[in-house]
């Protein structure tokens, strides 16, 4: 008589992988914060990937600052170690609302398939599909001003799109930058002007100093490793190209034309050294990349506190400058 399946991976009790390959996922999560009621921003949900039943949330400022320009578009890719997260989670919703109001931009927040039910590159493929959905809206409006969704309207600027990714979302943003390149017409009329990576979730077999340092309040090395084991293609290591942009099998980024990139990281993050090394290497290759470090901050400092700290307002101003610089 065979033994009963036992837990081989346990993520905080909310996600468990069993020895027979079965998975338990709990949606009964008690969040410490609630969704902010910001009446200056409205939002709608759209199904963008029918095959996998994936939706995105589209945020739009109610009253636009007086100017003659159309609203830029921000695509926000949430974090969660590729294993957790949804556009509906309070801190993700609040972050997108804050981005919409603070940047005077429309914000598109897509869900993507989660691991280990759907291992990488599923999340990256879904992010590409979200950009294609946006492209379809732009093409319909281009052909006929009444052809697209009336709520999206003709006041949206498909020529000024920015991708913002947090943690695993930052990893996805990097792979989008590589796939789409700079100046590519593949997604016309959508033109991605720049990428913002908040503490991108990169990995590698060789430990960095910050990874071996003291754990963060909500993140430790054991959990980081577990996320990789659950999200990587079976049998692959943390040096796989999806985890390590500079691994032995990763594409030579020197040959890839990338759009402008801004990397933002907290000084106390386990992922700090990898983000810093990423920016340094791309800078040495002549890429348009900037690295900013916020002293004393831990992982998710902007996403989790987008409405409750002066630091969040500072980040908004930095994003504004980046968007302005890369729009010309």
Residue 19 domain flag:
no
Is the pLDDT at 178 greater than 70? The verdict is yes
Residue 276 domain flag:
yes
Residue 20 domain flag:
no
Q: Which two tokens stand for residue 243?
A: 């985890």
CA distances from 17 to 11, 23, 226, 322 (A): 9, 5, 11, 41
Active-site residues, by number, are 167, 269, 299
Residue 9 domain flag:
no
CATH of the domain at 291: 3.40.50.1820
* Domains: count for the chain: 1
């590589």: which residue's tokens? 178
Residue 44 domain flag:
yes
Torsion of CA 280, 285, 289, 294, to 10 degrees: 0
Q: What is the average pLDDT across 240-260?
A: 96
Which tens digit of pLDDT belongs to each residue from 113-152? 999 999 999 999 999 999 999 999 999 888 776 555 666 7
Spatial CA neighbour of 300 closest among 75, 26, 57, 78 = 78
Q: Which two tokens stand for residue 144?
A: 């006929």
């293609």: which residue's tokens? 233
The β-bridge partners of 25 are: 15
User: pLDDT tier at 66 (50, 70, 90 boundaries)?
Assistant: very low
Residue 232: which domain range? 31-326
Is the pLDDT at 173 greater than 90? The verdict is yes
| pLDDT score of 67 | 55
Residue 115 domain flag:
yes
Residue 216 domain flag:
yes
| pLDDT score of 278 | 98
Residue 3 domain flag:
no
Residue 60 and residue 100 in contact, taking contact as beta carbons nearer than 8 Å:
yes
| pLDDT score of 65 | 56
């Amino acid at each position: 008589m065979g033994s009963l399946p036992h837990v081989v991976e346990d993520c905080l009790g909310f996600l468990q992988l069993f020895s027979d390959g079965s998975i338990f996922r709990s949606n009964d999560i008690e969040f410490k914060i609630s969704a902010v009621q910001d009446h200056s921003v409205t939002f709608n949900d759209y199904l963008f990937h029918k095959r996998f039943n994936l939706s995105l949330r589209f945020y739009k400022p109610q009253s636009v600052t007086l100017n003659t320009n159309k609203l830029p578009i921000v695509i926000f890719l949430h974090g969660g170690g590729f294993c957790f997260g949804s556009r509906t989670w309070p801190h993700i919703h609040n972050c997108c609302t804050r981005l919409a109001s603070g940047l005077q931009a429309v914000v598109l927040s897509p869900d993507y398939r989660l691991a280990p039910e759907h291992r990488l590159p599923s999340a990256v493929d879904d992010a590409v599909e979200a950009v294609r959905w946006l492209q379809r809206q732009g093409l319909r409006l281009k052909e006929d001003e009444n052809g697209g969704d009336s709520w999206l309207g003709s006041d949206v600027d498909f020529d000024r799109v920015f991708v913002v990714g947090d943690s695993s979302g930052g990893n996805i943003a990097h792979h989008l930058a590589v796939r789409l390149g700079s100046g590519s017409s593949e997604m016309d009329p959508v033109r991605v002007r720049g990428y913002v990576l908040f503490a991108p979730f990169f990995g590698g077999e060789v430990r960095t100093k910050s990874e071996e340092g003291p754990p963060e309040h909500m993140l430790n090395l054991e959990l980081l490793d577990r996320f990789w084991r659950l999200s990587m293609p079976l049998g692959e290591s943390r040096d796989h190209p999806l985890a390590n942009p500079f691994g032995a099998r990763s594409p030579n980024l020197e040959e890839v034309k990338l759009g402008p990139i801004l990397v933002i990281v907290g000084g106390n993050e386990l992922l700090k050294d990898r983000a810093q090394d990423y920016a340094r290497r791309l800078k040495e290759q002549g890429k348009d990349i900037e690295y900013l470090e916020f002293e004393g901050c831990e992982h998710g400092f902007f996403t989790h506190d987008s409405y409750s700290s002066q630091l969040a307002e500072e980040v908004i101003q930095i994003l504004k400058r980046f968007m302005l610089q890369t729009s010309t």
